[in-house]
Amino acid sequence: MIALLQRVSEARVTVDGETTGAIGPGLLVLLGVERNDSPAEADRLLERVLGYRVFADDEGRMNRSLNDTGGGLLVVSQFTLVAETAKGTRPGFSKGASPADGERLYSHFVERARPRVASFGTGRFGAHMQVSLINDGPVTFWLEVAPAG
């Protein structure tokens, strides 16, 4: 399972002109689900996202997490994160979870995350979305959790 997290001043996702999620300062997480991922990987990745120290402390060092700051969290599904891009000029998606498994694990991640942050939003799984953000820094990190076993 993959999370591309971006520290943002604000972020918003819209589907067909309707805003489905918006936050102020916090993290935008683009979430990719791979074949063989499970709820255990989703839970481990969520812990990493919430605890990852990407916000400045009083000395200006990245030493504070979303748990520490109380910032917002916007979670958007993005299957293209699991693309195979090492060869050729067209991405392959054989590493990706099936749409049903992807949606199930995305929903699991969202359900576990929602009660843990004050400001929370999501995209809409499988929809064509427009995501707008102001990346603060810019600060962007790629987090992965491999399937157990």
The tens digit of pLDDT for each residue in 80-90 reads 999 999 999 99
pTM over 0.85: yes
Q: How far apart are CA 127 and CA 115, in angstroms?
A: 24
Provide the b/e sequence for 120-145 (b: ≥16 CB within 10 Å).
Answer: bbbbbbeeebebebeebeeeeeeeeb
The tens digit of pLDDT for each residue in 13-48 reads 999 999 999 999 999 999 999 999 999 999 999 999
Residue with tokens 């599904």: 77
pLDDT at 126 (0 to 100):
93
Catalytic annotation, residues: 78-80
What CATH fold (topology level) applies to the domain 2-143? D-tyrosyl-trna(Tyr) Deacylase; Chain: A; (3.50.80)
